[in-house]
Amino acid sequence: MPEMTLVDSVNDALHTAMDEDDRVVVMGEDVGVNGGVFRATEGLHDSYGEERVIDTPLAEAGIVGTALGMAMYGLRPVPEIQFMDFIYPGFDQIVNEIAKLRYRSGDQYEAPMVIRTPYGGGIRGGHYHSQSSEAYFTHTPGLKIVVPSTPQDTKGLLLSAIEDPDPVMFLEPKRVYRAVSDDVPEGHYTEPIGEARLAREGEDVTLIAYGAMHHVAMEAAERAADEGVSCEVVDLRTLVPFDRETLEESVTKTGRAVIVQEAPRTAGFAAELSAFLHEECILHMIAPVQRVTGLDTPFPYTLEEEYLPTPTRVLDAIDETLTY
């Protein structure tokens, strides 16, 4: 198997899907000739032409609205929003049209489309290029939300998303686009949407994370092991639907949980996970769930490392739950 970075695996998945299905269309700002601001779509324009790899105006509502029309009439569009921070002009189209199409049409129409977008901090992008806005969309029935953390999962999950009959938001942690690499199978394969990955087995506490924060959790688990603490690490992979069974089994076993997200703390997705665990696992829990999150402020430029969760902050939360 070839070794790929996460952004390479996105590109490989798009090539694979477009080779196999001529209904797959890629569109967005600079995705064509330029190959995308992160080069995630590099080479697609040369391989499939301007009718299937479409450079669009800077108009996010137009991008996702046009993609919806394509999906309703038989295509499989994969629109890219250049940064998740830019998705808000298309918010109405996503939550009021795309997410509700199957319901409002009485199952007459589907919206098989994947909205790809890089999210999160860690690249010195400042407050307009670093936001983690997943909670806005997890609150919207009709959308599936996928957030991979490894190159192998990224390719398999993206191919699953493209084949899905319903709309999927595919959030790519740009912080680790080129910071992690992995052996990625060639050709077509899929990873199941809605299933978490048990990345590390442990006995004392469960660490739950997704996207770039998975790697923070893994580093914290390794450092905790040096202190004699056994951490189980669950890579959520999918936020909607999230894998209730795996989380319940893990926290029932360990009795403790620490959830890591880089989005602001208030009403973040970690709060939903915390509520679920307290509702379903309370009789097995030794301590309340701990959350390690971003801050309730705009994303800062000069204080980026103060804002983002770190392994040290996760270790502090592990200590809190162990000494409760």
By C-alpha distance, which of 171, 53, 166 is closest to 113? Answer: 166
Task: Count CB-CB contacts under 10 A for residue 58.
Answer: 12
Please list the residues that pair with 291 across neighbouring strands: 259
CB atoms within 10 A of CB 225: 14
Residue 287: other Cβ atoms inside 10 A = 15
Catalytic hit among 15, 45, 129, 278: 129
Residue 129 annotated among the catalytic residues of the structure: yes
Please state, in angstroms and rounded to a whole number, the distance separating the CA atoms of residues 278 and 295: 23
Active site residues: 129
